[in-house]
Amino acid sequence: MRASQFFIATQKEAPQEAELPSHKLMLRAGMIKRLGSGLYTWMPLGLRVLRKVEAVVREEMNRAGALELLMPAVQPKELWEETGRWAVFGPQMLKIRDRHERDFCFGPTHEEVITDIARREIRSYKQLPLNFYQVQTKFRDEIRPRFGVMRAREFMMKDAYSFHTDLESLQKTYDTMYQAYSNVFNRLGLKFRAVRADTGAIGGDGSHEFHVLADSGEDALAYCESSDFAANVELAEALAPVSARGEAKEVMREVDTPKQTSCEDVAALLGITLQQTVKSIAVMATAEDGSTRFYLLLLRGDHTLNEIKAAKVAGLENFRFASEQEIRDHLNCPPGFIGPVGVSGQVSVVADRSVAVMSDFVCGANKPKLHLAGVNFGRDLPEPVAVADIRNVVEGDASPDGKGTIRLCRGIEVGHIFQLRTKYAAAMDAGYLDENGQRQTMEMGCYGIGVSRIVGAAIEQGNDERGIIFPAAMAPFTVAITPIGYDKSEAVQAAAHALYDELLAAGIDVLLDDRGERPGVMFADMELIGIPHRIVIGDRGLKDGQVEYQARTDAAAQTVALADIAGVIK
């Protein structure tokens, strides 16, 4: 590719809203452009990277025997009603209506669609096992889109779904997928860790998440250095002994005139301190008498949402975090009256008809003013109920396998594999005829990779003050040729063209910077966009048949004979 014909749109500064290095650098490099919250255009430069990731994922999926197909992004409501997920998937699902007043969603995932294919197309045990995959755009209306493409609303996922006659066959494909995922992340040059994840109601040991290791990762991982125990913190906490207690107070509906107050005032009134970890959270729960009520969980000590999720509250069954909409409906308050609820790291306070939500991101300089009614604890908030069984995991705890101590690190979830068993097949009646002509329900697995998230995660792992350091396998170009005086020297131009042609012929992705820019500008651009190899051709070196070579990770350039340079790259 010639830079003069390409679209290089680098910027010196990243917009204010970008928090993480990867997000800043992707914007500065001109890889992506923001259209709206969680919506990004992949510009030509960024798309080259995305396509390289996609290609590696495809190759490993194909090698593992999976078959590519492509399902519609838009899915009818009726399918989701069969599994009951239309009602329970929640606000992450973007629901849409067509001109005939029929309901659809923009697919956040595709279990229903693929299970519908399987039940129509698969008749006999002889056709199984089968593993279908696609690389496709998903939409999830994330409560807090952030970090650019890492937590976007529209994003690219590779999702695969396998069908089996029995658990043994499912386990085999699951293991194959585990290996294929490891191959993908190894080939992409990422430091990653596979960890066990909770399988919830399905139970068993049939789920792993793949995390790119980065301090900025949203997920906490627990692992043991002296054994192979590794789990996401949710599962590690579920396996850990009870470590804390708290209490819950029901939120009443009596109304006082709201008045404005500060986070600190609310906290003081409720007797809590503001911390990034959660001290209180609004939950919806079934009480002992079977009624559904809203509660404010007030916790003793600081807790993460994961700990609260793992908690059992005496007298409350099945509690879950209440959504902003639910609280608003319950308290009958107008839009804009409350902030989002239920995001990791939030402190939320619900008092009387007023709801105040404090998030970790507003605990800093720009604290919002909160609406608060005059709360009367005797009247508005009844006596607390005990919260039991909060399980906490900290570094140095005994590993659940008893083979050492727990260490914690942070990760970015880039892949997730799951043994679904018969959950979807049973709900949607996806069966096959066995050797005896008996109808059986299919076993099923699902396997996701966040293709677009990987790009951000890789940059989170590879960057310095000059810009992105791409692993070779996903760099937009492998080599940059930066001729000095391209416009002025025929010798430089001829040497640059000859090398360009030679590298192209060798199948190397090369970018020839023929823009006639100053060396400083060219170098800064090539370093910012993370090209692994740079070759500088200038009149001075050419006299001795030499060029300058510098790898993106090298501190300084070295002189190499022009005749040898292609060999250095290959």
392 vs 452, beta carbon nearer ligand ATP:
452
Size of the site for Mg ion (CB under 5 A): 2
Stretch that binds ligand ATP, among 285-293, 391-399, 447-455, 510-518 (CB under 6 A): 447-455
Q: Residue 116 contacts by C-beta under 8 Å, 6 or more apart in sequence?
A: 79, 428
* Three-state DSSP state, 207: strand
Stretch that binds ligand ATP, among 177-185, 281-289, 314-322, 448-456 (CB under 6 A): 448-456
Judge contact between 407 and 224, C-beta under 8 A.
Answer: yes
413 vs 548, beta carbon nearer Mg ion:
413
Q: Is 416 in the site for ligand ATP (CB under 6 A)?
A: yes
Judge contact between 195 and 484, C-beta under 8 A.
Answer: no
Tokens representing residue 129 in the block? 């096992």
Looking at 206, 400, 448, 538, which residue binds ligand ATP (CB under 6 A)? Answer: 448
Tokens representing residue 215 in the block? 């301090």
Partner interacting with residue 151 (select from Mg ion, ligand ATP, none; CB below 5-8 Å by kind):
ligand ATP
Judge contact between 116 and 132, C-beta under 8 A.
Answer: no
Query: Would the CA dihedral through 529, 534, 535, 538 be positive or negative?
Result: positive
305 vs 524, beta carbon nearer ligand ATP:
305
Over the window 78 to 107, marking each residue x when it contacts Mg ion by CB under 5 A and - when it does not, the resulting string is ------------------------------
272: Cα separation from own chain's centroid: 32
Mind giving me the DSSP string for 450-481? EHHHHHHHHHHHSEETTEE---GGG-S-SEEE
Residue 201 vs residues 323, 327, 400: alpha-carbon distances, Å? 22, 26, 20
Size of the site for ligand ATP (CB under 6 A): 15
Q: Is 414 in the site for ligand ATP (CB under 6 A)?
A: yes
Of the CA atoms within 13 Å of residue 86, those in its CB half-sphere come to: 13
Tokens representing residue 266 in the block? 């609310």
In angstroms, give the least distance from the CB of 306 to ligand ATP.
12
In angstroms, give the least distance from the CB of 311 to ligand ATP.
20
Stretch that binds ligand ATP, among 4-12, 50-58, 305-313, 449-457 (CB under 6 A): 449-457
Q: Which of residues 72-111 bind ligand ATP (CB under 6 A)?
A: 109
Angle at 198 between CA 194 and CA 199, to 5 degrees: 115
Tokens representing residue 533 in the block? 């190899």
Angle at 482 between CA 12 and CA 534, to 5 degrees: 85
In angstroms, give the least distance from the CB of 531 to Mg ion.
32
Q: What share of residues in the chain are helix, strand, coil (percent, to 5)?
A: 30, 35, 35
Q: Residue 540 contacts by C-beta under 8 Å, 6 or more apart in sequence?
A: none
3-state secondary structure 38-61: CEEEECHHHHHHHHHHHHHHHHHH
Partner interacting with residue 453 (select from ligand ATP, Mg ion, none; CB below 5-8 Å by kind):
ligand ATP
Q: Is 157 in the site for ligand ATP (CB under 6 A)?
A: yes
Q: Is 413 in the site for ligand ATP (CB under 6 A)?
A: yes
In angstroms, give the least distance from the CB of 96 to Mg ion.
20
Residue 520 vs residues 483, 526, 528, 533, 536: alpha-carbon distances, Å? 12, 10, 12, 16, 12
Q: Residue 153 contacts by C-beta under 8 Å, 6 or more apart in sequence?
A: 37, 38, 39, 139, 140, 141, 142, 145
92 vs 440, beta carbon nearer Mg ion:
92
Count the neighbouring beta carbons within 10 Å of the beta carbon of residue 255: 14
With CA atoms as reference, report the closest residue to 321 among 280, 289, 267, 264. 280
With CA atoms as reference, report the closest residue to 448 among 202, 136, 73. 136
Judge contact between 189 and 471, C-beta under 8 A.
Answer: yes
* Closest residue to ligand ATP, based on beta-carbon distance: 450
196 vs 416, beta carbon nearer Mg ion:
416
48 vs 138, beta carbon nearer Mg ion:
138
What are the residues facing 468 on neighbouring strands? 463
Count the neighbouring beta carbons within 10 Å of the beta carbon of residue 348: 27
325 vs 438, beta carbon nearer Mg ion:
325
Stretch that binds ligand ATP, among 149-157, 459-467, 493-501, 514-522 (CB under 6 A): 149-157
Partner interacting with residue 450 (select from Mg ion, ligand ATP, none; CB below 5-8 Å by kind):
ligand ATP
Q: Residue 191 class from Cβ within 10 Å (0-12 exposed, 13-18 middle, 19+ buried)?
A: middle
155 vs 523, beta carbon nearer Mg ion:
155
198 vs 527, beta carbon nearer ligand ATP:
198
Cα dihedral 557/563/569/570 (nearest 10): -160
Partner interacting with residue 52 (select from Mg ion, ligand ATP, none; CB below 5-8 Å by kind):
none
113 vs 511, beta carbon nearer ligand ATP:
113
30 vs 448, beta carbon nearer ligand ATP:
448
Stretch that binds ligand ATP, among 176-184, 412-420, 528-536, 542-550 (CB under 6 A): 412-420
Stretch that binds Mg ion, among 18-26, 334-342, 408-416, 533-541 (CB under 5 A): 408-416
In angstroms, give the least distance from the CB of 41 to Mg ion.
23
Partner interacting with residue 220 (select from ligand ATP, Mg ion, none; CB below 5-8 Å by kind):
none
In angstroms, give the least distance from the CB of 199 to ligand ATP.
12
Pairing relationship of beta strands 242-250 and 292-303 according to DSSP bridges? antiparallel
In angstroms, give the least distance from the CB of 415 to ligand ATP.
5
Partner interacting with residue 392 (select from Mg ion, ligand ATP, none; CB below 5-8 Å by kind):
none
Stretch that binds ligand ATP, among 71-79, 124-132, 445-453, 464-472 (CB under 6 A): 445-453
Q: Is 151 in the site for ligand ATP (CB under 6 A)?
A: yes
* Closest residue to Mg ion, based on beta-carbon distance: 416
Q: Which of residues 410-449 bind Mg ion (CB under 5 A)?
A: 413, 416
- Rounded Cα distance between 549 and 554, Å, is 10
Stretch that binds ligand ATP, among 74-82, 279-287, 311-319, 450-458 (CB under 6 A): 450-458
Phi, psi for residue 186 in degrees, rounded to 5: -65, -45
Give the binding site for Mg ion (CB under 5 A).
413, 416
Give the binding site for ligand ATP (CB under 6 A).
109, 140, 142, 151-152, 155, 157, 413-416, 448, 450, 452-453
